[in-house]
Amino acid sequence: MSESVPEEPSWAQKVTAVIADLAGSESISWGGQGNWRSQHVIALKDLVLPSTEEAYDLEEGTTVYISKSSYPGKQYKLWDNKTVPSANVRVNLQPESSSPVEDQRPGASARSREYFYVGTIMTAYSYKPPSVTIKKGRTAYLPPGQEDEGLSDYVVQDKAGGSHEETVGAVSVRVCKAGDSVPDHGTEPIELMCYELFPYAALHAGLLSAKKFFELLATGKDGGSEHWAAFFGGSLTSKPRLENLKTQEFSRGSIIVLYNQIGAGIHTVVASGQTDPDGGGSLVYSLSHSPSSHPGLWPITTITATFADDPVTYAKVVAPAAPV
């Protein structure tokens, strides 16, 4: 009697097994930043980037205007966005009262309704914004306007639109175009959009070429969830309503796009093929702002509940296949 040969997992199931390994990874976060999305540089030596914030001094006896939302607290935020340790400030109190004195900030319109607590600096305070060091081999970001090749120096930032910036010589960095660096959470933390978790897992496992990954990245900037899902499987099919998602069964590896009431695809999840034992419906892999900013496995109804401000009304499903 011959033994049965185990069925070979499908391409989508292989990718989903990789996603299972990525669940809980703190090196992957939800978001749209990443050196591989745009032109950037790799530091060829340690780069020290000073802060673009201004240093300031608050002298003893200076009157300050404290945001009400920061009182009480260890740090007071002032009307001009400066901060000062509360231990350095005496909050002025009304006579025979524990209530802080309130007043308008300097230069405020007489009609302004925004009031601040008034205080006095009792111990002088100086703020010197710290610098950031980009270690050799790590990424720094290039503000727009530096696309010309052969520049003698570059303005680099700690992150896209970051608050630390410096001009460095061209010999200190290696300039990379979009696509020159392949995302790898094992090398440094990366950010992915919800619909990029599946293709990244395929890329990470060698089940999708970097060429295809970047081809899709370049063409899918405006399509989001629907674009990526269609790329892997053609037309999205079926439309289970929100009230049916708790009982709907989804095959392991299926890509599920969640839609809002106006028919826009607002989130992508991947079916694990498992069911929540507590009645929450299918367990799906998700990457979003909630319940965590890192990839994880949750009941599909838990995921839909996180979109209270833009309610999910139905879903569409695609059985993904390896792109040709």
Instruction: Answer yes or no: do 44 and 32 share one domain.
Output: no
What confidence tens digit (pLDDT) does each residue in 50-102 have?
999 999 999 999 999 999 999 999 999 999 999 999 999 999 999 888 899 99
Task: Output the six-digit token pair for 280.
Answer: 């929450």
**Model pLDDT for residues 185-225, shown as the tens digit of each residue:** 998 889 999 999 999 999 999 999 998 888 877 665 556 78
Same domain for 259 and 282: yes
Same domain, 280 and 238: yes
Mapped onto helix, strand or coil, the DSSP state of residue 125 is strand
Considering the domain architecture, whether residues 141 and 188 belong to the same structural domain is answered as: no
Provide, rounded to the nearest whole percent, the portion of the chain with pLDDT above 70: 96
Residue-level pLDDT at 243:
80
Q: Which pLDDT value is given to residue 222? A: 54
Domain-embedded: residue 270: yes
* Residue 139 exposed, middle or buried by CB count within 10 Å (0-12, 13-18, 19+): buried
Q: Is the pLDDT of residue 2 over 70?
A: no
Q: Based on the domain organization, do 203 and 267 belong to the same domain?
A: yes
Task: Give the pLDDT of residue 272.
Answer: 97
What are the start-end ranges of the H helices in 155-209? 197-204
Question: How many Å apart are CA 187 and CA 178, to the nearest integer?
Answer: 18
**What Å distances lie between residue 302 and 42, 246, 264, 279, 292, CA to CA?**
40, 10, 20, 11, 12
Instruction: Report the alpha-carbon distance of residue 2 to residue 236 in Å, rounded.
Output: 40
Does some domain include residue 1?
no
What's the mean pLDDT when you consider all of the chain?
A: 90
43 assigned to some structural domain = yes
- This prediction has a pTM of 0.68
pLDDT in tens, 221-249: 556 788 877 788 767 777 788 888 888 88
Q: What are the tens digits of pLDDT across the range 16-46?
A: 999 999 999 999 999 987 777 878 889 999 9
In this structure, the answer to whether residues 44 and 172 fall within a common structural domain is yes
In a domain, 213, yes or no: yes
Condensed to tens digits (0 to 9), the pLDDT of residues 109-132 reads 988 999 999 999 999 999 999 999
Number of domain units in the chain: 3
Tracing tokens 């949750």 back to the chain, one arrives at 298
